[in-house]
Structures are given as structure tokens and as C-alpha cells.
Amino acid sequence: MDRIRIVGGNELHGVIPISGAKNAALPLMIASLLTDDTLTLENVPHLADVEQLIRILGNHGADISVNGRRERQGESYARTIHFTSRNIVSTTAPYELVSKMRASFWVIGPLLAREGKARVSLPGGCAIGTRPVDLFIDGLTALGANIEIDGGYVNATAPAGGLVGGRYVFPKISVGATHVLMMAATLANGTTVLGNAAREPEVVDLAKCLNAMGAKITGQGTSTITVEGVPSLSGARHRVLPDRIETGTYAMAVAMTGGDVILEDTDASLLETALEAIRRTGAEISETNSGIRIVRNGAGIKPVDIVTDPFPGFPTDLQAQFMGLMTKSSGVSHITETIFENRFMHVQELARLGAKISLSGQTAKVEGVSRLKGAPVMATDLRASVSLVIAGLAAEGETMVSRVYHLDRGFERLEEKLTRCGAHVERVSD
């Protein structure tokens, strides 16, 4: 099993190309099930989750072809993938596939809308909270679906004439449920209004793609999304937006180590709250023609308190990384997690590097230390794994991160990108 070996102490200098967003690519790929025409997606990252979803879509009958497989395009690798779901050969998403990645449950929306039925295993693939499917079930029921849970599967059927437009107000904001209901509503009869909807850039990106396919969606980016159903959707060509989580992660890495790095092919407007928090730590951040420049000239890291919130708040997917940064601040910071109840599993691993962190409910108190020391650590989930990398970059000596398959789910070519900026990071295969 692969591990990541880091020898800390080097500043970062250079250019890091930002990949397409995993959290945008996955729902866009699933949207291909809504049409029998070809959906072409550009800037798709090469990640384990993307490859798993390709297998799942193939199970439903999608024909998938890939251009640009590891093809060099300037300084980055990006792929163009063509999805053609002309014939849906199965409306069942089996446990052995869905259990490996939670987002694969989202196929329930397009399958139900297009085929009138879906049998989808209850999801797995995540260790950071329960994240129940109640919102998906209640929302689809509001569109006329009849849903039963039996034997670990969600069995959904639409009325004889197909799903019908309706109104559904999310009791809590859910990005995944917003994706699913928005997709399902595109082919429903009548108009659907989604209240308290997620406002994340990935939701906006999906709506942009669906509209290019012929959907009639308005209000994306606000808390109320309106979808006027259409009889069918066509193919389209769409470019996946930049990964704001990867952008914030590398920005925090530079703030941690010091240095001067250009983050290319990204957009500051996707993560303004996170960038403002990084600025408050003492780093300088400016926009450039090609992306974002981040500089820290060796001054100490100032402590900053954050609270995770749905967009446009501080992203929960950057909480672990920010905690890694705060371990070497010049004072005490408080990090409050409001989205997922189990998202502090990285605390005990950061402590192995010398971090001083205490927990009280959903708040972590981080007392900055003057030095971290390398140690063997273990990744517990995707974002926790990269928080250990950030801490390891600033730790004295060697840090060995195991279970890096978590890392491979969401960060494309991390070792290569960091190494090219002067970090000592390598993948070690046992």
C-alpha cells in the first residue's frame, strides 16, 4: 500500500496548476444519464472517485470515451470525457459499487426522471458523519415518486406519466440533495421550486451544464431554485470549474511553509471567505491574470478563528487543512465545525506531530506551537489526509503518511505539484 513521505522545512516557490473540481465533476458526470445524446466534459480530474463513478455509469449502460489521458497541456493534465447514455441497460445501482463512494447514490435522480424507476443501494464511502438520505427521499417524494427502503436498497418509482413538478424546502442545506432534485426536476411535468437550496459553486456549475442541455433552471446560486420541466434533454459540451478546495489547500500550504506561489487556472471568487481567513493569518493574496498569487515572507502565522458554514461561508472541506495551518500559529485559535459531526478525526494524528489541540463539542481549540516534529501518521478521510501533508511540510524531519488512498480520491498529482515548488514529497510503495 502506498504512503507519502515528506521531509519538512522547505519553502514553496513556483506555479501550481489547479485541476478541475471533483465536487463539480461527479454530479456533471451523473447528469449524462438524463439524455441519450453525448455529454462532453472538459477539465475532468484524474482521481479515484472519478474512475469509480465511470464504472458505475458503465453499469447503467453509459458508453464512455476519454481524450487527453495523461496528455500534457501546458503545465497541467486535464481530460475530456464523452458520456453517451443512449440506452439505460440497468436502473439498479448495486451495493458493491455504491458502497465505495457516497456520491454514486445520486444516480437515483436521473434514473427515476428518465426511466421512471430506480433501485439504488444505500450509500457508503465516507467516515465523517451519517449524512442520511432522508432529504433525497423526501424531496423526490415531493415530485410524486413512490419510495420504499427494503434490504438496504432504496426502491423508487415515478407515476405513470413521470415525475411532477412540486415545491420542496430543504430542512437543512444539502449540496448532494440539491444536485439530485435539480436533475430530477429537469424532466418532471411542470415547475419545481426548491427552497433553502445549496448555493455552492458546484451547484451553479451543474445548473449551467443542464441549461446547456436544454433544461430551464433559474435561481442557481441563490437559496431558491426554480426548474421548469422539459420533455427531454440534449447533449452539450461543458468545462468543469476549478477546484476551490484544492485551491484553498495549496494556499494554506504556502501560508504554512512560507514562499511565493502562483495558483494557476483558478478563480478567487469561488472561495472568498477562505482566502480572507488565510490573509488574516499574515499571508498576502492577490489575483493575477492566470489565477491567484500567495506569498508569506517568513513572518509568524497569526491565529484566526473560523466557523464552517455552507457557501459562501468557510468550507467544511477546508477545515482540516486550516487546522493544520493553525498548529504553528503564534497564539490560540478556535475552529468550529457545523456541517459534519465526526470531522475532527485528524486531531489525534496532528497531535502525533506535536500539535496541541483540545476538543469541546464541535469546537477545536488549537494552541500554536513553535515547532512540529515529523512522525508516522495515518489518514482517516480525504481532507484529513491533506491536513497531515500541510503539517508535514513544516515539521522537522520526516513525516510518513499512510492510507493515502484517501488522498487519491480528491487530489490530482499532489506529490508532483508540491515537488515542483521545492517541497520534499514522494510516494513510497511497499
User: pTM to 2 decimals?
Assistant: 0.94
Percent of the chain at pLDDT exceeding 90: 84
Q: Do 49 and 154 fall into the same domain? A: yes
pLDDT along the chain (430 residues), means of 10: 93 97 97 98 94 95 79 58 97 90 92 97 55 86 96 94 97 96 98 98 98 98 98 98 97 98 97 98 95 92 97 95 97 93 85 97 96 94 86 97 88 95 93
Q: Do 206 and 249 fall into the same domain? A: no
Q: Do 184 and 297 fall into the same domain? A: no
Domain finish residue from 188, 207, 239: 239
Q: Do 253 and 180 fall into the same domain? A: no
Q: What is the CATH number of the domain that holds 183?
A: 3.65.10.10
Q: Do 345 and 414 fall into the same domain? A: yes
Q: Do 13 and 92 fall into the same domain? A: no
Q: Do 171 and 88 fall into the same domain? A: yes
Q: Do 235 and 253 fall into the same domain? A: no
Is residue 126 part of the annotated active site? The answer reads: yes
- pLDDT at position 137, please? 94
Q: Do 303 and 231 fall into the same domain? A: no
Q: Do 211 and 312 fall into the same domain? A: no
Contact 63, 39 (CB under 8 A): no
Residue 367's alpha-carbon distances to 224, 325, 350, 355, in angstroms, are 40, 11, 12, 8
- pLDDT at position 252, please? 98
- pLDDT at position 77, please? 65
Q: Which of 54, 64, 122, 126 is catalytic?
A: 126
SS3 at position 302: coil
- Tell the residue number behind the cell numbers 520526516, with chain if given: 398
Q: Do 228 and 79 fall into the same domain? A: yes
Classify the phi-psi angles of 74: left when phi > 0, otherwise alpha if psi is within -120 to 50, otherwise beta: left
Q: What is the pLDDT of residues 152-193, one digit of tens each?
A: 899 999 999 999 999 999 999 999 999 999 999 999 999 999
Domain finish residue from 213, 239, 265: 239
Chain centroid to CA 318: how far? 10
- pLDDT at position 74, please? 40
Residue count (the chain): 430
Domain finish residue from 222, 239, 256: 239
SS3 at position 159: coil
Residue 313: which domain range?
A: 2-17+242-429
- pLDDT at position 299, please? 81
Contact 305, 333 (CB under 8 A): yes
Q: Do 214 and 278 fall into the same domain? A: no
Q: Across the beta sheet with 424-429, what order do the strands follow?
A: 376-378, 398-402, 2-7, 424-429
DSSP-derived pairing of the beta strands 363-367 and 356-360: antiparallel
Number of domains in the chain: 2
- pLDDT at position 382, please? 74
